Structure 1
Amino acid sequence: MLKYIGILGCIMLLTAKISEACTGITLKTKDNKQIQARTIEWGESALKSNIIISPRDYKYQAIMPDSKNGYSWKGHYGFVGASLVDDSYIGEGVNEAGLSAGMFFFPHYGSLSKYLPEKANESITDMNLVSWMLSNFSTVDEVRENINKIRIVPVMVFADGSVSPTAHWRVSDAKGNNIVIEIVNNGEVKIYDNKVGVVTNSPDFQWQTTNLNNYVHLRPGSVATYDGNGQKLFSFGMGAGALGLPGDITPPSRFVRAFFYLSSTPTPEDGYKGVTQAFQILNNFDIPIGVEYQNKKDVPKELESATQWTTAINQTDREFYYRTMYNSEIRKIDLKKIDFEKVNYQVLSMEKYKIQPYREIIVK
């Protein structure tokens, strides 16, 4: 009970100021490797994220807003994921079958089923949904077929009846199927095929894809010189075709920018180049700490960046990569080397030392 009160306290902190900003992208390599990559931002405090190793046949228990037990299940698949706030809440992960799932903050638009104590045994919270998908399913089609069989409720209900902001979810499989799940209108599940390979935050996914039409003029490269009324007009440098590409950190602008980078970069040759290219693209979405504060005195001192971690997942080869705000070195977990039948449930620190290592080059 004390642990749960602590979790709720953390979530109340997270919902006090809405400033989480996540950017997700999808790449496919020439040799048909499926790559999912994303950032996760929170500029208020550390998200207390860890690496979670969950075995096959692990037993899960959802806890309801009134701290009572909700739906419980025994998982079929082992997975690796990164947690948020509490180790039972997975923000991004991939299972041994290659299914990947992640949650992206969706304030003002997401609207979950109302929590009903009499239906607790068929309910999970939004913070449990990634674990539920990764532990149970191997394909996007299986997720589609089963998501309406459970009630997805808010993790918190406040005294005035209001609820904590929720998320929407990107789900993809090793076959290349890719969807965005949004829950609106008090529990209505909407599923969109993610053909553009991008997801950010609010507004809804359909609005975001429609908004791309406002940037139909953007293109890679430069523009031709021409004369206008006797005035010779020319580009100051490369990239003039992208003039007008939004550079701010709002979700719609990040969505447009991610789509432009994805559609203009070359298709990577293989999984190695796909993962490294994903991290290179997401460099453009790192958010420096403090940009959401009007007063610099309010900026938390313990954070190096609002982008707390970045992940890339090679679904085809079952590989999970990550880097953090403390250490930009890319680290890898190979799921193929984990025996999910025998491995124990584990919580691994993302960082041994919260400091960026440097290597001095000695000149002789």
Structure 2
Amino acid sequence: MFGCSSLSINTTDKKTLFARTMDFTMEPDSKVVIVPRKYGIRLLEEKNEVTISNPYAFIGMGSTDLASPVLYDGVNEKGLMGAMLYYATFATYSDKPKEGTRGINPIYVVSQVLGSCVTVDDVVEKLGAFTLLTEANNILGFAPPLHYTFTDATGETIVIEPDRTGITIHRQTIGVMTNSPGYEWHQTNLRAYIGVTPHPPQDITMGNLKLTPFGQGAGGLGLPGDFTPSARFLRVAYWKKYTEQAKNETEGVTAMFHILSSVNIPKGVVLNKEGKTDYTIYTSAMCAQSKNYYFKLYDNSRISAISLFAEDLDSHDLITFEWDRKQDIKQLNVKS
């Protein structure tokens, strides 16, 4: 399983934020990567594949182990944000490019989009020129089944899913995404839970017996607590709707980490068929206006932040930040 959950929110001071979890059974050699302007992003892993110049710099979590940087998520200098998430058994790729398009490896989609797009309209137009191919990569050894979500500075969020009928683009979304099945199914499934609310149920009387809730939170009874994609989608959607709207970026980032804590997976509670543990390797958040990238790790729950504009965005080289896995605990007293 390559899990993951994502959401977007807006603050009262008109900041747009996007966040995601990364759930997996293995840890690729990942780091925070800043890709400077005009660095050049490949479409495929083929030896003679040319690179496409990226007019915009961007920052996110990813790997530099392949011919081009592979970003799992990120934000660019124009405020476009996005991520790739697993789409097992549903993602459908082609063996060769369709007429009038160029082939692209699915793992390069996020990097290509962040490097050249400003709005979700740009994303839709750009992806129309590509065909997602079944080209494997050296990190996983196969072409991972993926779907994508992007949010621009206006707060509009789209979901892009390569299905058997072609690339499906969902424009009217609630700004939440997890994994399979498709987005339309998740959105329909929400209708079964519209009675779940933060409000306590009313007391009732049965004969001479008055029945009252055991305690606070009874309005949420029925919200599933497992780690399936459908259950995680419901919890993130519920928390997003009812969490108090943040006033600013800092409050927004704090809120998003709280919301995604509802779907964080500790080691050992979800196992795959081989007995390996799926867990939340990292959680990230980013802001379209400030271009700040925030993240915390499974082993270090302190939130770290990196600003895109604090670096030379016309550099000829990638700028990377390694993970600090040591748990950062603030000691408030010292034994004398």
TM-score (norm 2): 0.91
How far apart, CA to CA, are the structure 2 residues paired with 1:69 and 1:169?
27
Three-state SS of the structure 1 residue aligned to 2:231 is helix
Three-state SS of the structure 2 residue aligned to 1:26 is strand
How far is 1:346 from its partner? 2.1
| Residue among 13, 19, 28 paired with 1:37 | 19
C-alpha distance after superposition, 1:80-128 (max 9, x if no partner): 0111584622100111111112001001111022236x99x92210000
Q: Does 1:92 align with 2:63?
A: no
Three-state SS of the structure 2 residue aligned to 1:218 is coil
> What does residue 118 of structure 2 align with?
138
Runs of 4+ residues over 4 Å off in structure 1: 297-300
C-alpha distance after superposition, 1:210-232 (max 9, x if no partner): 00011121111211211023321
| Residue among 127, 140, 145 paired with 1:166 | 145
How far apart, CA to CA, are the structure 1 residues paired with 2:326 and 2:300?
6
How far apart, CA to CA, are the structure 2 residues paired with 1:179 and 1:71?
29
How far apart, CA to CA, are the structure 2 residues paired with 1:75 and 1:336?
17
Q: Does 1:103 align with 2:84?
A: yes
Three-state SS of the structure 1 residue aligned to 2:115 is helix
How far apart, CA to CA, are the structure 2 residues paired with 1:331 and 1:106?
29
Q: Does 1:210 align with 2:188?
A: yes
Three-state SS of the structure 1 residue aligned to 2:43 is strand
Amino acid at match of 1:357: D
How far is 1:267 from its partner? 0.8
Amino acid at match of 1:78: A
| Residue among 129, 132, 139 paired with 1:149 | 129
How far apart, CA to CA, are the structure 2 residues paired with 1:68 and 1:269?
49
C-alpha distance after superposition, 1:141-181 (max 9, x if no partner): 11111211122212329xxxxx6441110011112121001
How far apart, CA to CA, are the structure 2 residues paired with 1:199 and 1:245?
17
Three-state SS of the structure 2 residue aligned to 1:246 is coil
> What does residue 160 of structure 1 align with?
none
Amino acid at match of 1:359: K
| Residue among 58, 61, 67 paired with 1:82 | 61
Structure 2 segments unaligned to the other structure (5+ residues): none
How far apart, CA to CA, are the structure 2 residues paired with 1:347 and 1:115?
34
**Contact 2:8 2:151 survives alignment (8 Å):** no
Three-state SS of the structure 2 residue aligned to 1:63 is coil
Equivalence map 1:246-285=2 (5 Å)? 246-285=224-263
> What does residue 332 of structure 2 align with?
361
How far is 1:63 from its partner? 3.0
Q: Does 1:52 align with 2:33?
A: yes
How far is 1:21 from its partner? 1.0
Three-state SS of the structure 1 residue aligned to 2:128 is helix
> What does residue 13 of structure 1 align with?
none
| Residue among 222, 229, 232 paired with 1:244 | 222
**Contact 1:183 1:190 survives alignment (8 Å):** yes
| Residue among 178, 188, 197 paired with 2:157 | 178
C-alpha distance after superposition, 1:243-294 (max 9, x if no partner): 0000000000000111111111111111110011111111111101122338
**Contact 1:108 1:165 survives alignment (8 Å):** no
C-alpha distance after superposition, 1:323-347 (max 9, x if no partner): 1112111111112323312463223
Range 204-213 or range 337-346, more displaced: 337-346
Structure 1 segments unaligned to the other structure (5+ residues): 1-18, 158-162
| Residue among 94, 99, 107 paired with 1:127 | 107
How far apart, CA to CA, are the structure 2 residues paired with 1:250 and 1:271?
30
Range 86-95 or range 341-350, more displaced: 341-350
Aligned-residue identity in percent: 30
How far apart, CA to CA, are the structure 2 residues paired with 1:203 and 1:309?
23
Q: Does 1:62 align with 2:43?
A: yes
| Residue among 298, 318, 327 paired with 1:345 | 318
Task: Specify which structure has the higher proportion of helix.
Answer: 1
**Contact 2:87 2:147 survives alignment (8 Å):** yes
How far is 1:133 from its partner? 0.2
| Residue among 302, 314, 329 paired with 1:329 | 302
